[in-house]
Structure 1
Amino acid sequence: MDLLVNLYSRKMDELATRAADVEATIRVALPPEQHIIKDWVRTHFSEYWVSEVSAAMAHQPPGCLIATVNGQLVGFACYDATARGFFGPTGVSEEQRGKGIGLALFSSTLAAMKAHGYAYAVIGSAGPVDFYVKAAGALPIPSDKEDIYQGLLRITPKTEDQP
């Protein structure tokens, strides 16, 4: 399900306040860090998300924000990766979840999108729908199960009888 977030909603101020006390540094990724970020995303998430990080990093400034704790990468969030105005993908390492880092990445990324002139953000194929609804007042976008990912090429595992 795709979701829509109004970047001018009062919820954005509430979100920023809730995210302010996180014990991680949230900042825009630097191009020389791209290989580190992509390796980390590959290890913790998926090759598809590595492709989206590549697209987000191709912008100037990069559309990828990172979270670090004690100089170590613990999370990331992208925008304008699959399509303009899209938030995501985003992820936090398992050992750092539940500490508000995902919320802080979400808040900072939406603020960056607003600063770049967006009035709304689309969260494509939103995973934790309830999280986005509660955090930012995200609303479902009606569809007939059709979205930008329709027809996405997928890698299928080889079976023993395939060359």
Structure 2
Amino acid sequence: MNDMLVRLVSLPDITNTEKVLKEKEQVIFRRPIAPEKSIVTQWVCKYFSSNWADEVDVAFSRIPISCFIAQRGQEIIGFSCYECTAKNFFGPTGIIEKERGKSIGKVLLIKALLALKELGYGYAIIGGVGPVEYYQKTVNAIVIDGSQVSVYQHMLKNNS
């Protein structure tokens, strides 16, 4: 998998999308707070992977917490993180399957990228990308040549 580069000064405006999701889908977007750490990390482990849960755990060690969640009522339906594995890296991110295709992921992505912009970065890296076309279309990300070998190259695999 390749890494991608995103220009942070030209991100799409998500104000209206977020408003529509709140009104029509009752979805709110926010940073979780410290007492929610185990709830969020366990949810990520259940729906995605223990590796991603480990990265979320790191997000909770930051102030402000470097994670956003999408929730409907008391249910988490998606998350996005930044600066968990490496500085200036976006990810991991995930939306539960039944909620995909509603722009929830787009809002979570851009909220995290805006947080990186607020840290002073002009560009951000999306690490180990699966859906290249999605990031190209959503934030004009470009594949970084030669990035198949990245910060994840020596990562241990969980064989259980």
Same fold (TM over 0.5): yes
- The CA distance in 2 between the partners of 1:5 and 1:78, in whole Å, is 15
Establish whether residue 127 from structure 1 lines up as the match of residue 160 from structure 2.
no
- The CA distance in 2 between the partners of 1:116 and 1:151, in whole Å, is 28
Any unmatched runs of 5+ in structure 2? none
Q: TM-score, normalised by structure 2?
A: 0.90
Q: How far apart are residue 17 of structure 1 and its match?
A: 5.0
Q: How far apart are residue 51 of structure 1 and its match?
A: 0.7
Q: Does the CA-based 8 Å contact 2:66-2:83 persist in structure 1?
A: yes
DSSP-derived class of the 1:90 partner: strand
Match of 2:79 among 76, 91, 102: 76
Match of 2:90 among 70, 74, 87: 87
Q: How far apart are residue 38 of structure 1 and its match?
A: 0.6
- Give 1 or 2 for the bigger CA radius of gyration: 1
More off after superposition, 144-153 vs 75-84? 144-153
More off after superposition, 133-142 vs 68-77? 68-77
* CA shift digits 1:123-144 (9 cap, x unpaired): 0011111110000000111116
Query: Match of 1:5?
Result: 6
* CA shift digits 1:75-105 (9 cap, x unpaired): 1100000001000000011111111110110
More off after superposition, 21-30 vs 83-92? 21-30
- The CA distance in 2 between the partners of 1:22 and 1:129, in whole Å, is 25
DSSP-derived class of the 1:143 partner: coil
Q: Within 5 A, what are the aligned runs for 1:17-96? A: 17=15, 19-20=17-18, 21-23=20-22, 24-96=27-99
Q: Does the CA-based 8 Å contact 2:3-2:147 persist in structure 1?
A: no
DSSP-derived class of the 2:9 partner: coil
* Structure 1 letter corresponding to 2:17: A
- The CA distance in 2 between the partners of 1:88 and 1:19, in whole Å, is 21
Coordinate RMSD, CA, aligned: 1.4
